[in-house]
Structure 1
Amino acid sequence: NYILVDVCANLVNKKYSRDLDAVVQRAKDAGVKKMLVVGTSAHSTKEALRLTRMFPGTLYCTAGIHPHDAKSWDDDTLRLLREVASNPECVGIGECGLDFNKNFSPPEVQLEVLHRQVALACELKKPLVLHERDAFAPMLAVLEKYADRLPPTVVHCFTGTSEQALKYVAMGFYIGVTGYLWKDKGPLREALRGVPTERLLLETDSPFLCPNPRAARLGESLKSVPSPRALGLVERYCSFQRNEPCSLPATLELCAALLGLEPHDLALRTTYNALSLFGLD
């Protein structure tokens, strides 16, 4: 069995409201010993902290406002994030960033809210968890203003190009890889090969981004990658409607195959990265 850390699981999502105990236990049985429940709004940040109290030592949380929710920022938001972040179970600031793909919040509002959260992470010296879609250059422009005092930083759910990955790595950032890796298009697999393993993290982004080891255009060599156990966990418990942290071994195994590594070796490296980055026990 692997020992893994899922650095982004949206377990506050209502899709887990009826069976969260079983979801967490399945993850642990699959080797996912610790999970980070990310805050994406004022409500989910408070809920994420509450969940960590229900599963001490297994669930940890972050405090943040997702770019989709940036328009909800008000006078109380910074106080709330600071309050939640003062708890030992809260190990990071985010998920914050820029999403110019959907623009559910106006771009100028997203930029202002990102600035505030990056400044908070710098002040509290808590790791920063970033979200970026179609906003690479403006995001970099914000981060470079804080370059001399940025805490450890994670680019969550990276889906970009080799060039973007190399730029992030050059800035000392960590790259989070999800089940998106199973998609049979886009530059992510090539980009992954340029990321040193000491900068790699694994995540499910549950309930989103379910791995699809049977994708029609995957190619036979990749279809044979997942072990029967990892494949069984995905097929029995996960779907495009609801991914679970127990799917993480499948993404680990594909990642390892693409990098030419043994899955157990990559599990050790990425778990060490997560434990040391977030200061987990």
Structure 2
Amino acid sequence: MKLIDTHSHIYSEAFNEDIAEAIQRAKDANVGQILLPNIDSESIEPMLNLVRDYPGYCLPMMGLHPTSVKENYQEELLICEKWLNEEGFIAIGEIGIDLYWDKTFLKEQQFVFEQQLNWAVEKELPVVIHARDSFSEIFEVLESFRLKSLQGVFHSFTGNLEQANKAIEMGFLLGLNGILTFKNSGLDRVVKEIGMKHLILETDSPYLAPIPKRGKRNESAYVAYVAEKLAEIHNLSLDEVAEATSRNAKKLFRI
């Protein structure tokens, strides 16, 4: 069973000089597919170009990232909606609420998040949720969707055990990346208490490179280090981790 990097911005400018080599390194590292979340209108073209260059291997999502919610959020939403109606996407993402950098547009972030959740329900697509310093605010919005068969993943999960169980109880998976390998993150203790059926792997490339690559540009090949750490935590073989997490990803994203 191959690994699946369920969250990678490998279409970003960080890979302008060596994208073909980065894709090959991912394949060499037993990565079977790379899932691409969108950020805003500026990232759509490079993302779709990569999808066209690697059909079936790189799979796109569509959404408006919370840190891109500014004064022009209505225009950005219309662009996302237009693309959703014209092309095939595997998920609505990356969406959510981010209060780490700036709280100025909290109300707008909440509105945009809810609007995109509605799209997901209408189109029967999973959602990929970005939650940074915002679990309470996100759970509050999600409460109104409990009866609407909404599914998805809390990507780059960094919450505590209570928040993990809350997300799972609401029908969501947890996305694990390089943070799991950081010695002082404490995430390993949380993940140890979570069953494998609730977990998927990601990189969030080019960010959050795992140990032993921390501080360098992250790339999809490095999802293997996250898999190795998860295998250590749950006392499983790497093949067992690949099988479980890839099965979870395939089911969620219908790939």
Number of corresponding residues: 255
Q: Distance in 2 between matches of 1:25 and 1:181?
A: 25
Change (3 A) 1:142 1:67: same
Q: How does 1:188-267 map to 2 (within 5 A)?
A: 188-213=187-212, 234=213, 240-267=215-242
Gaps of 5+ in 2: none
The answer on whether the counterparts of 1:180 and 1:211 sit within 8 Å (CA) in structure 2 is: yes
Q: What SS does the corresponding residue of 2:80 show, helix, strand or coil?
A: helix
Aligned residue number for residue 34 of structure 1: 33
Aligned residue number for residue 154 of structure 1: 153
Aligned residue number for residue 5 of structure 1: 4
Identity rate, percent: 31
Deviation string for 1:96-126 (max 9, x for gaps)?
1111111175211211111111111111111
Q: Distance in 2 between matches of 1:24 and 1:104?
A: 36
The answer on whether the counterparts of 2:126 and 2:150 sit within 8 Å (CA) in structure 1 is: yes
Aligned residue number for residue 96 of structure 1: 95
- Report how far residue 69 of structure 1 moved: 0.4
Once the two structures are overlaid, the 10-residue window that deviates more, 252-261 or 143-152, is 143-152
Aligned residue number for residue 82 of structure 1: 81
Q: What SS does the corresponding residue of 1:63 show, helix, strand or coil?
A: coil
Q: Distance in 1 between matches of 2:243 and 2:211?
A: 24
Q: Distance in 1 between matches of 2:220 and 2:36?
A: 11
- Report how far residue 49 of structure 1 moved: 2.2
- Report how far residue 83 of structure 1 moved: 3.2
Change (3 A) 1:195 1:168: same
- Report how far residue 33 of structure 1 moved: 1.2
Which of residues 247, 251, 254 in structure 2 aligns to 1:272? 247
Normalising by the residue count of structure 2, what TM-score does the alignment of the two structures yield? 0.94
- Report how far residue 75 of structure 1 moved: 3.8
Deviation string for 1:189-233 (max 9, x for gaps)?
1111222211110001100111113xxxxxxxxxxxxxxxxxxxx
Aligned residue number for residue 217 of structure 1: none
Q: Distance in 2 between matches of 1:244 and 1:74?
A: 29
* Aligned CA-pair RMSD: 1.7
Q: Distance in 1 between matches of 2:146 and 2:86?
A: 26
Q: Distance in 2 between matches of 1:72 and 1:132?
A: 21
